[in-house]
Amino acid sequence: MDAIDQARGFESKLVAYVKGLGKLKWLAILKHGRLEKPTEEEFAKTIQITAIGIAIIGGMGFCIYLLWEYVPQWLTDLLG
């Protein structure tokens, strides 16, 4: 029974440690983060950066679409 008691003790310590990890992460985020709304300048900058990112990803997708749609036809016409 001694080994079983040790295993249960280890398990309870491990469970307590794992539960504590999540709490510590959120606590650190709350301590370092601001809990207020962003200023108008910060909000505008966030919108600009997001829009640029969306445009870049959309442009890349459109280029891939063009390559996928027209390059095979061009190659077959070129090679006969």
The residue with greater pLDDT, 78 or 50, is: 50
CB 46 within 8 A of CB 38: yes
pLDDT tens digit sequence for 27-65: 666 666 666 788 899 999 999 999 999 999 999 999 999
CA angle 36/42/43 to nearest 5° reads 85
Rounded distance between C-alpha atoms, residue 73 and residue 79, angstroms:
10
The residue with greater pLDDT, 35 or 71, is: 71
| Helices vs strands, H then E, count in the chain | 2, 0
pLDDT tens digit sequence for 23-35: 666 666 666 666 6
Sorted by where each begins, the domain ranges of the chain are 1-36, 39-80
